[in-house]
Structure 1
């Protein structure tokens, strides 16, 4: 066991600091080895190089304690090695950093301004252990959220930040969402390779590629995602978003929402551009999901207000996708309750350009399903070319006020 003096000396041996100028430092973290926790040394490196410095993570790091790297200004993170979080559920579930929305927690909370993470390295979250445990005790929150008693951390959260670039990163085995953009602005992700794939009979769960919450001017581009939940999800109050040049495999689509979950709260998603995305073996491609209304003032399963506006899905290719184009304004809501209490979160100004490809046939001949519990306005489609393996394609519409602006013939829900 280290005493205070010996622990300080040990940390100093594990952190190499090179001062290039009076204002610039390079903090290289030396991996301890032997399965010991590198987390304190990584946190110390960020504290030492928090202003104008470079943190170098070029080894194999075992992390058994929360990475809480905040207050950074103009910091480079050269991650060319591997950061692996220990598979200690009993420890991580309570110690991961709690962020309230949908009970999300994180292994690493990265915060500041002018941050650049690069280097081609890897974050390995040991997801298989979590997925197997979750299969035995499927303790989740509402609508793909986590729970307080079984918190499943996100590998990397960019929170309360501005002007951040994350590039050239491989992410393996997240217990939950892979990336959380939390109350931030001007964040760019490029060249990200995500793999949340189970190798046992137990599937992954809630393995979204990105979840964006209360954030503005976010760009996600040139990336590949293998998972079984949303490829990208625009959570409440996401605005001015660009998503382009993605390959999404096995996912639930590029999703607006879910929104309107909490009664008394206002959720907004606006000014979103999705372009040049290939969706393969997925449930959906272009998806909007909004809770219905609720008779309960304190509901956490619907009843929120707000709007979805100015959303463009363009040049998307569907390859064996259950329902390539999808709007559901009664998401996770009992249909009887939704009929009596329609959603008060409006959907308008949504445009589909050149959505092409094939459905899987799992929904019969349905390739488009646009169902609103309250009127959805200014919904348009041009260049739609979708085929079903089961016969002539069917397009389902309900409460769409601008069916004349769709380039397919709508039928009522069965």
Structure 2
């Protein structure tokens, strides 16, 4: 009994120390943009309130939460949120962040940029998001239209449950980021909006885009040079130009892309489905690319390799190899459902497996085209007999 009492007394002194140590670095400080002066009336520029609130959250110890309350529209003229941060920051974005009018815009390259912030989470809780006011910009294709969101050198990003509307140009740019996930993102712009890619990924590794819907006037997702281990899963695309690898080799660049896995995606009324596009004169490669379990509805070019993108096909040094198209099912709006237009060095190890692409219009037949394409066809309609082994 005396031993038990002694142990209880010891724990009584030690336990508070243990608890304190366990809590060190785990405090969650709360910062609200309203407390920093944000008006949320959709007219007043709330830029300084956002920058100040983020700066405080970034400098906190342990974890911090930046709250952007629901029920308000926050006009932000142009913002750059830059790290590194000492805290792991969660941004609860439940309000709407809106861009200024084109006449009042201060942005040329990007409207909102996030740079050098690791382990950042942005959660819209299916309420919040960004409105770029793109319709006034689309009427001026020669203007310096800003891209909407730019993530640069951010590792461990988790961006989820956001609504992103009407960017003047591309919606989300991911550059030099690693081990990051974008999920449950809704992107919506008109089919005729110019250059409004949903996602542009470049020089990034281990990026996942999943459970999202993208409506745009250009590529739903473009995977550009220097990108490896990209996973795109359960994405619905349309309208738009499909999911593209490239374009690669533009301006004679050496562009390399590999280990891209696109699975369980749906294309509705898009101009392309699964596309690889390279520009003559460039160099590099696109390899270990897999498109599988794809649903097509009235897609103009369901499967296309275009090695003469925007230029008449000529020899190119960008090598395309080890590309798999498996489990495509649905309808093609054009006669040519499979178009493998490779340069004279050829595309190699192309696999078409268990695909069934028929014409949208009843009574019509789908066909195929090959140029310097080498690979294997199994259980595929149309048969793509021009693919040489």
Number of residues paired by the alignment?
Answer: 346
User: 2:300 is matched with which residue?
Assistant: 322
Contact 1:193 1:223 in 2 (8 A): yes
User: 2:14 is matched with which residue?
Assistant: none
Structure 1's unaligned 5+ residue stretches are 1-19, 97-104, 140-149, 293-302
> How does 1:170-249 map onto structure 2 within 5 Å?
170-197=163-190, 203-249=192-238
> How does 1:1-400 map onto structure 2 within 5 Å?
24-30=28-34, 31-33=38-40, 35-50=43-58, 51=60, 52-58=63-69, 59-72=72-85, 73-89=87-103, 91-92=105-106, 95-96=107-108, 105-111=109-115, 112-118=117-123, 119-120=125-126, 121-134=128-141, 139=142, 150-197=143-190, 203-263=192-252, 265-292=253-280, 303-335=281-313, 338=314, 342-361=315-334, 365-373=335-343, 374-388=345-359, 389=361, 391-400=364-373
Q: Deviations over 1:115-153 (max 9, x none)?
A: 01003312000011111222xxxx3xxxxxxxxxx3222
CA apart distance, 1:29 = 0.5
Q: Deviations over 1:304-361 (max 9, x none)?
A: 21000100000111100011000001111134xx2xxx11010000001111111113
Contact 1:40 1:65 in 2 (8 A): no
CA apart distance, 1:246 = 1.0
CA apart distance, 1:403 = 4.7
Distance 2:68 2:235 in 1: 27
Contact 2:341 2:372 in 1 (8 A): yes
CA apart distance, 1:33 = 4.7
Distance 2:208 2:325 in 1: 20
TM-score by length of structure 2 reads 0.85
Q: 1:27 to 1:359 in 2, by over 3 A?
A: same
TM-score by length of structure 1 reads 0.80
Contact 2:179 2:207 in 1 (8 A): yes
Say what the alpha-carbon RMSD is for the aligned residues: 2.0
Distance 2:272 2:327 in 1: 16
Contact 1:403 1:410 in 2 (8 A): no
Contact 1:284 1:323 in 2 (8 A): yes
Q: Deviations over 1:227-252 (max 9, x none)?
A: 12111110111110100101111111
